[in-house]
Structure formats: C-alpha cells, structure tokens
Amino acid sequence: KFALVRACSAKAIVGEDKKNVIDQSTLLIDANIMLWACELSRVTITGMELGAKDEIVDSNFARIIRNVRNAIAKGRERGVTARELKRTKVGKMPERDFIDVMKNLVESGDVHLIKIPTKGRDRDAYVYKDFIEEVKT
C-alpha cells in the first residue's frame, strides 16, 4: 500500500514548493505503476526479512555465533585469523566451543577459511562471505 500511494502521489504534487499539496484529479494508477509498486514492496519486505534474520537469535549459542560472525565481518577482505579472533571479547571461550562456533559458521557458508598471501607466510584467515570476491581479485 505504501509503495502504491507513493507512486501515485509523486506525480500528483503541485504548487511552487512541491510540498503537501496533492492534486487528486491527477492521481492515476496504470499497469506499470502497479508492477513497480509490487516489486518495490517485495524488495523492501525481503530486505527487512534478511536484515532481521541475521540479528534475531533464540539461544546463547546463536548469540555467540552472531557476535563472532559480526567480528569476522569487521575484518572485511583482510579477514581475521583464529589467533586474532581469540584475542577479542567475542572470541574468548573454551577451545571446544570455539571450534564448534567456527565449524558452524564455515558449514553455513557465512564465513570462509582461506589462505591470504602476504609478504611472508600466508595467513589462514576467516573471511565473511560478502568479502570473498574482493580477496580473490
């Protein structure tokens, strides 16, 4: 509904300041506007769903996974090594739990463990899925 009203009112605004005055006689909804409004609504709702899905957790383990995933994402294309991660607040946990969390993140596809070339020895770093393409180029 919001997208449809927005589509209609964008063409109907009149007046010098182009604010708050809608000429109701010019309101027109054609097939293109309806398709655009439906697509905008779909994209908006999908974006909200995906955004909320990553932030809503229902258990302590899920909260830990979310926090570790966010810490790795902050590393961007440089990635974060296990040692670096363990030195952060979110990475301080028993070794067995750390292994479970990292295994879960890698298996879900949110995080990738890759070798990043450096001047010396290559770094084994965890990289968030959104930055994988930047690492490979």
CB atoms closer than 10 angstroms to residue 79:
24
Instruction: Return the half-sphere exposure (C-beta side, CA atoms, 13 A cut-off) of residue 19.
Output: 1
Please give the model's pTM, rounded to 2 decimal places: 0.59
Provide CATH 1.10.10.10 ranges for the chain: 57-136
State the fold for domain 57-136.
Arc Repressor Mutant, subunit A (1.10.10)
**Among 17-21, 23-27, 50-54, the least confident range:** 17-21
Rounded to whole angstroms, the Cα distance separating 106 from 11 reads: 49
Rounded to whole angstroms, the Cα distance separating 79 from 73 reads: 8
Phi, psi for 61 (deg, rounded to 5)? -65, -40
- Average pLDDT on 34-50 reads 82
* Confidence category of residue 110, pLDDT binned at 50, 70, 90: confident
